Amino acid sequence: MAALTSRHPFNLYYSGGEYVKICGSQDGYFPDFGHHIVNEMGGIWLHPIKLLDGFWLKVTDLDRGIAVWSRADGFTNEPWGTRFDYDHGLGHIPVRIDRMQFAPELEKGMAAHYRLQAYGKGVTRLRLELLARTDLRPVWFSDEIGILDGARDEAQVLTPRRVLVKDSDHEWYAMIGSDLPGEEIAVGPELYGPEFTAGNGCGVAYAAEIELAEREEFEFRLIVAGSYVSREACEQSYQVIEAGHGAMLEEKRRLYEQVQRRAELSVEGEDRFTEMFKWVKWNNQWLVQTVDGVGRGLTAGGPTYPWWFGCDNTYSLQGVLAVGDAQLAKDTLNLILEKSEEANGNGRIVHEVTTMGAVSNPGNTQETAHYITFLWEIFSWTGDEELLRRHYEYAVKGIEWLLGEMDPDGDLFPSGYGIIEIAGLNMELIDSAVYTAQALKAMAKMSGYLGDLERTAKYKELADRASRAVNEVFWMEEEGLFADAVASKRDIAPKVDYMVSLAEQQGLSGYRDYVENLLETADQDEHDQGWLLNKNWVIVTPMEAGIADPQKAERALKTMRSSTFIGEYGTYLAGIYQQGTMTISTGVHAVAEAANGYPDQALELLERMGRSFSRVLPGSFSEMSPDYGCVVQAWTIYAMAVPVVRHFFGIRPAAYEKKLILAPKLPRAWEGRSCELKQVVVGDAEFDIRLKEVDGHLHAVIHNPGGWQVEVQWDGMTKISQGTRIEVIM
């Protein structure tokens, strides 16, 4: 497996297993940062609780009288963990240190391995002090449901090299231990390392003196385990990790090799692109979070959004399916459904669920529609009828909620917040309207498959009406674009001052003149019409979802291929501001281009997005391009995998029919090159697909061990084949 290095010491990293997440800076420290829980988002977390603020190593040269808190000057990101090099971080102490750390995938703890090597002449006498700082506290939004951080962390020394710490008010535990020689130990709330950290924590420090001859090595470990249930569970986790961390590391490496091989992409001459594709799959695994008693699912981003979202996952899980992890998609979708049933019960899909199981936002309009659309997507990839039936009745309620409570005027455009949550702009927004039309199409397919034929006819009729309405009402002929929102002049006018204040906060001058000009040229006060208030990226969703009429789609995409909408790193969040860029805005735009037959433009957008790869965390894309927000974000898997798998390779699964459709649209840059996707998982089958376009002809080889029917579409032609190895030239 590949590893990527960095020498940006103050940048953050994020890694972990399904239970424990580790976040610090690339110099090996653990600075306070964060806004959800002020100054508490880093450290070591066993969601829904934090275990440690961090840990640090102090090295004292006893003969030279030099004492240094070791600070790494080299960072290496591995898929399975992280490594730190201290070649120059000890000043004049003639010792090199490397530190390797990882969290076992399915255990509630982590291990850090230190190796020291002396390079000075003669004997080097050292004092080592390994200090960990606990901070047992709950995840964000716990205060609102009455779960408060205890007044202090209480430590109990079990042995000179093992300490148990408990939150004073809860059954939350951390155990910190080491195999440093000796018995010197210090414990207390006043003990800090080189960084003062917030919270009601406790310091645990182990110390030892050693002697090293030239080139002699010395190794020791830090083991941390935790529990949000009981002391017994914490002790058991510690014992398991202490005894088996070596085997667990090998097990974790094998897991990440499996992730790499699943939907493994190779394109001749595109090493950087395929490297990004590989790392995005690994990034995705870092974000899987399991909490006993709550569930397992894909979290939105680390370290700022380490919990579950309806909106983010309706994008991210499309990419998860494309790279073959159907179980994660199912687990996440079931978690979102269960929390939606608990919090709402009326078909509305929740927006945000913390790892404590608390719903902080009952749901924006867009995500209910998007969830319903995704149900047909996951069924197409998995053929899991039990899952479909489990979710279908709630989806029926979801449509009723969208077209009932949220659509009082009956125009098939539900009101409320969409993907872009700008306070006050809870109107009839383009993304909610588009995904509602798409959801109705999905409901027609689902109800038809399940034999609910009365609803099938109803949903088909509503889907046709909703699609026509989007094209008629949201389309702005003079602009050649779809509108951000539909509203009357009377509804927009009171929001002007607030929108202007937002624009001024972003340093945009002249916005008042822009929006007042829109008002002056608008129709009558009572008449609903389209408004381009910000030229938000979501105006590309009609093309992404296949709702836009072909002529409108062609014109809108052409209009959006300009510097108004696209910057150095991809698609702006808002063309008016031309400031923020996200992998999701760029990804949806790329999908829209590819879905409408423009793979070259889609690839160009992905290459722009690729300019931010490894800018902050080696091997990852930041939440906000190029270099701020979360250091890893789940919906980047949508941005990379959906254009490549569903559109460049043209994979259209129908697992419920044991059928695979291939309708590739390869970028011209890939013409004449061998393009392969191995271990493409659809239902219970796996496919290896190799494509090559030469002089306008497609050469396709499909390894099809399950003997499914494969339909290849190319340049208006169709060939249907069945067999374990299929070769097609068209």
pLDDT-based confidence at 342, cuts 50/70/90? very high
| Res 730 pLDDT > 90 | yes
602, 667 contact by CB (below 8 A)? yes
In angstroms, rounded to a whole number, what is the distance separating the alpha carbons of residues 299 and 317?
11
User: In whole numbers, what is the pLDDT of the chain averaged over residues?
Assistant: 96
466, 437 contact by CB (below 8 A)? yes
Q: Which residues lie closer than 8 Å to 539 by C-beta, 6 or more apart?
A: 430, 481, 482, 483, 484, 532, 556, 560
Q: What mean pLDDT do residues 527-556 have? A: 95
193, 133 contact by CB (below 8 A)? yes
| Res 363 pLDDT > 80 | yes
Kindly state the tokens that stand for 29: 């420290």
CA 469 from chain centre, in angstroms, equals 33
Start-to-end C-alpha separation, the chain: 37
Q: Which residues lie closer than 8 Å to 399 by C-beta, 6 or more apart?
A: 347, 372, 439, 440, 443, 459
Question: Quick check: bond before 362 cis, omega within 30?
Answer: no
132, 218 contact by CB (below 8 A)? no
> How many angstroms separate the Cα of 662 from the Cα of each of 496, 567, 638, 642, 698?
49, 32, 19, 14, 11
| Res 88 pLDDT > 90 | no
pLDDT in tens, 271-321: 999 999 999 999 999 999 999 999 999 999 999 999 999 999 999 999 999
pLDDT-based confidence at 207, cuts 50/70/90? very high
Closest C-alpha to 723, from 694, 701, 695: 701
Q: Give the model's pLDDT for residue 423.
A: 64
| Res 184 pLDDT > 90 | yes
pLDDT-based confidence at 87, cuts 50/70/90? confident
62, 36 contact by CB (below 8 A)? no
CA 147 from chain centre, in angstroms, equals 27
Cβ-in-10-Å burial (0-12, 13-18, 19+) of 200 comes to middle
pLDDT in tens, 45-55: 999 999 999 99
Q: What mean pLDDT do residues 605-627 have? A: 97
Instruction: Kindly report the three-state secondary structure assignment for every residue of 479-535.
Output: CCEECCEEECHHHHHHHHHHHHHHHHHCCCCCHHHHHHHHHHCCCCCCCCEEECCCC
% the chain with pLDDT above 90: 90
pLDDT-based confidence at 498, cuts 50/70/90? confident
| Res 466 pLDDT > 70 | yes
Q: Give the model's pLDDT for residue 723.
A: 93
Q: What mean pLDDT do residues 548-570 have? A: 98
Residue type for position 631? V
pLDDT in tens, 637-672: 999 999 999 999 999 999 999 999 999 999 999 999
Q: What mean pLDDT do residues 496-514 have? A: 87
Q: Give the model's pLDDT for residue 426.
A: 76
pTM comes to 0.96
Q: What mean pLDDT do residues 349-370 have? A: 97
**Domains in the chain, ordered, with CATH?**
13-257 (2.70.98.40), 649-729 (2.60.420.10)
